[in-house]
């Protein structure tokens, strides 16, 4: 599936990122804390120039040296940003976040900076929407309260056009969803359109290269948790990503969304969310620099659980191809796999091909949905499910438009005792317990009419 050249390029970028991060983290915590201490007399955590550390002599700084206060009450946005700016001005290094809860608005990451969260460290989103960037903070950002998903476009941590950036350590990035999802009486807003205001994707990278996110907990975003858009060479490893689903449901509470990215590896992650755990997307690209396909993505050794789709491919008008999902456990989930041409009327839809799902254990309501939905002609082909086992008792669905039948959909050794409806789909089933459901002529014609006329579709 991958050429040697592309594999080599991917491995080079990922290895380079790991070397950069390892070098910056080789300095000890004691070294970070032994620098001159700044103690600004300010409840906002804003730094004073004469009290900041000397930027000439170190490349690893504690945010406390810039006045950050880890009491969960004092706003430390400016202190964290000042530390990032200083490290960036030196050409790169590590911003050290020690144990404590640091309330913050939007933080802008910069080239060659590693944001390291020590065990017990929490960067927690401010409850004040005015502390976040606006929807027009950069051309690539797009959101507005009052339409769509009803979010502001603000982000807690963002990187726009950055290179060689990482978020690492055993600490936590907490979106403080309670502050936005609950009303003044502590009750969940009855629908997302009623929410007065909430930030957008909590961690957001766009038009960037060499991104590493490792070992951190990504918790309680009031919207999507981690959004990587039009980036290249991305590693997400060992992270625990979760949004509210048990005590209350976070509207649109996705885990990791990968959109128009190349050379991406997601590994050893636990993702427990109220909406999609993992998505591959190819969204509208008119605001992006050099928009690219979503391609060469590897997801392995992950545990997924959700009220919605564990793995969803689709959305947009680009291409998603050459991706492998392997050694994954899916549990307590509505749909395990969802592949869709277009969710919105009027879109051509996303072409999706050369996708492999290998060695996956599933406990879900429904195993698979592959459907055009509103797309008139999206190409969906060469999708292989191999070595899938578990339980998913509800009927699965492969529903294609007559103008663009699905091609070469293969189920090999799928030991899930369930049936799949196939309409305008070229399907091969080789071994296993998964079986086609035989439709009567009347049932088949009914399905075709619904698919062509967008009635009773699978949402």
* Phi, psi for residue 4 in degrees, rounded to 5: -60, -40
Least confident of 15-29, 42-56, 355-369: 15-29
pLDDT at 144: 63
Residue 29 banded pLDDT, cuts 50, 70, 90: very low
More confident residue, 302 or 35: 302
CB–CB of 396/367 below 8 Å?
yes
CB–CB of 262/232 below 8 Å?
yes
Spatial separation of the C-alpha atoms in residues 392 and 367, rounded to whole Å: 5
**What are 190-225's pLDDT values in tens digits?**
999 999 999 999 999 999 999 999 999 999 999 999
**Structural domains for the chain:** 1-274+286-301 (2.160.20.10), 307-459 (no CATH)
Average pLDDT rounded to a whole number, residues 279-300:
92
**What are 385-432's pLDDT values in tens digits?**
999 999 999 999 999 999 999 999 999 999 999 999 999 999 999 999
Spatial separation of the C-alpha atoms in residues 2 and 7, rounded to whole Å: 6
pLDDT at 146: 65
Distances in Å between the Cα of 154 and the Cα atoms of 151, 229, 338 are: 8, 15, 28
pLDDT at 58: 56
pLDDT at 287: 86
pLDDT surpassing 50 at residue 165: yes
pLDDT surpassing 70 at residue 151: yes
| Burial of residue 90, with CB atoms counted within 10 A of its CB: 0-12 exposed, 13-18 middle, 19 or more buried | middle
Cα angle value 198/97/266 (rounded, 5°): 65
Neighbouring C-beta atoms of residue 166, cutoff 10 Å: 25
CB–CB of 380/370 below 8 Å?
yes
Does this model's pTM top 0.85?
A: yes
What does pLDDT average to over the chain?
89
Least confident of 16-25, 121-130, 408-417: 16-25
* Phi, psi for residue 437 in degrees, rounded to 5: -90, 125
**What are 247-288's pLDDT values in tens digits?**
999 999 999 999 999 999 999 999 999 999 999 999 877 789
């Amino acid at each position: 599936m991958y050429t040697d050249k592309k594999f080599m390029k991917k491995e080079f970028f990922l290895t380079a990122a790991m070397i950069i991060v390892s070098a910056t983290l080789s300095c000890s915590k004691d070294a970070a804390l032994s620098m001159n201490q700044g103690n600004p007399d300010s409840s906002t955590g804003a730094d004073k120039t004469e009290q900041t550390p000397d930027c000439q002599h170190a490349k690893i700084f504690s945010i406390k040296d810039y006045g950050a206060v880890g009491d969960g009450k004092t706003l430390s946005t400016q202190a964290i940003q000042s530390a990032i700016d200083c490290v960036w001005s030196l050409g790169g290094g590590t911003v050290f976040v020690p144990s404590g809860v640091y309330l913050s608005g939007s933080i802008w990451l910069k080239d060659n900076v590693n944001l390291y969260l020590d065990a017990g460290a929490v960067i927690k989103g401010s409850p004040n929407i005015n502390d976040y960037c606006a929807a027009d903070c950069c051309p690539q950002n797009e959101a507005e309260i009052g339409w769509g998903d009803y979010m502001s476009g603000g982000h807690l941590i963002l990187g726009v056009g950055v290179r060689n950036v990482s978020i690492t350590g055993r600490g936590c990035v907490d979106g403080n969803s309670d502050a936005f999802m609950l009303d003044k009486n502590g009750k969940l807003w009855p629908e997302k359109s009623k929410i007065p205001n909430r930030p957008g994707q909590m961690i957001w990278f766009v038009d960037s290269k060499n991104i590493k996110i490792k070992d951190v907990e990504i918790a309680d975003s009031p919207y999507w948790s981690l959004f990587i858009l039009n980036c290249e060479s991305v590693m997400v490893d060992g992270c625990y990503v979760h949004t509210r689903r048990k005590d209350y449901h976070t509207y649109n509470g996705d885990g990791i969304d990968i959109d128009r990215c190349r050379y991406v590896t997601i590994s050893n992650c636990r993702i427990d969310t109220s909406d999609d755990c993992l998505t591959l997307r190819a969204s509208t690209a008119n605001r992006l620099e050099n928009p690219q396909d979503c391609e060469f993505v590897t997801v392995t050794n992950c545990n997924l659980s959700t009220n919605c789709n564990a793995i969803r491919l689709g959305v947009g008008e680009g291409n998603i191809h050459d991706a492998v999902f392997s050694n994954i456990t899916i549990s307590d989930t509505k749909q395990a796999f969802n592949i869709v041409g277009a969710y919105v009327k009027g879109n051509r839809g996303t072409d999706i091909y050369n996708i492999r799902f290998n060695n996956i254990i599933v406990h879900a309501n429904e195993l698979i949905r592959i459907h055009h939905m509103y797309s008139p002609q999206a190409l969906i082909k060469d999708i292989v499910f191999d070595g899938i086992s578990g339980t998913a008792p509800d009927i699965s669905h492969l529903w294609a438009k007559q103008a663009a039948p699905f091609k070469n959909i293969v189920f090999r050794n799928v030991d899930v005792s369930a049936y799949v409806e196939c309409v305008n789909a070229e399907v091969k089933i080789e071994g296993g317990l998964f079986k086609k459901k035989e439709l009567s002529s009347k049932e088949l014609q009914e399905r075709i009419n619904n698919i062509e006329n967008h009635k009773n579709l699978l949402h």
